[in-house]
Amino acid sequence: MSEKSSPNKESRWFGFEQVDPREKTRRVIGVFDSVADRYDLMNDLMSAGIHRLWKNRFVRMMRPAAHKKLLDVAGGTGDIAFRYREKAGADATITVSDLNGEMLKVGRKRALDRGYVRGFDWVEANAEDLPFDDSSFDLYSISFGLRNVTHIDDALAEAFRVLRPGGQFFCLEFSQVSDPLLRKLYDRYSFSILPAMGEIVAKDRGSYQYLAESIRQFPTRNQLKRRLEAAGFEQVQVISLSGGIAAIHIGNKL
């Protein structure tokens, strides 16, 4: 899908900097080109390992099973896909899609290191324009990737299109901290410690400054719920995690 329909303000913001939507997409690719090799290490350091608990819960909520075809979008390094495979078994069918080829290279290597030589497809694609037929998947997941999509509403429409009737959408993403004191501490961490950590570990301060800013530009939990409903999803659930630092959104295609 092109720039045509997306009304959302996120399409013109790269963090706190206003840009052309096409430039935003190019810059996002550049961010993940830069951090791909150390992306998972940085996730551990940034969250003190808590992201692993969030992701484990996220995957459990999918109720993994070999007969359910999973499309994991923006999942290049395989973090969600491998968790799903562990639960669903060797007969699981998993497609990992990512806008960034470098992230997919990391994922393929990690898959081979785990001995996963079948059951995975790795596809370089934009979440806004997926190269899959209608009604192709039982599950659609996107973990810490939706806030980097230029046109979020187009991506949600594509998620709805590629899911089969009865399919489910799952999104794990950073959110807005509820408690004022925790929010103050979280803001200080995000804008002071996180970029410095990125500079030391990933040799890239700017990318982690962008990631901190992108969280603040992302829709609130209720806003995203309404946008999922506008895309056609029903029975939308929202689960807040760790005081609102992250959230899971689930939608059903009935």
Find residue 234's DSSP bridge partners: 252
For residue 135, the number of C-alpha atoms closer than 13 Å in the C-beta half-sphere is 4
Mean pLDDT, all residues of the chain: 91
Length of the chain: 254
Classified as helix, coil or strand, 216 is helix
- The tens digit of pLDDT for each residue in 163-220 reads 999 999 999 999 999 899 999 998 998 898 888 887 887 777 887 888 889 888 999 9
Strands 137-143 and 163-174: parallel
**Which parts of the chain are beta strand (E)?**
13-14, 17-18, 70-73, 94-98, 120-124, 137-143, 163-174, 234-241, 246-252
Amino acid at position 138, single letter: D
Exposed e or buried b per residue across 142-152, where buried means at least 16 C-beta atoms within 10 angstroms of its C-beta: bbbbbbbbbbb
Q: Find the helix or strand (DSSP H, E) in which 247 lies.
A: strand 246-252
- Could you tell me what percent of the chain has a pLDDT over 70? 96
Q: Find the helix or strand (DSSP H, E) in which 158 lies.
A: helix 152-162
**Domain tally, the chain:** 1
Q: What is the CATH number of the domain that holds 165?
A: 3.40.50.150
Q: What pLDDT shows up at residue 7?
A: 59
CA 28 to chain centre: 13
- Residue 80 belongs to domain spanning: 3-252
Q: What pLDDT shows up at residue 4?
A: 40
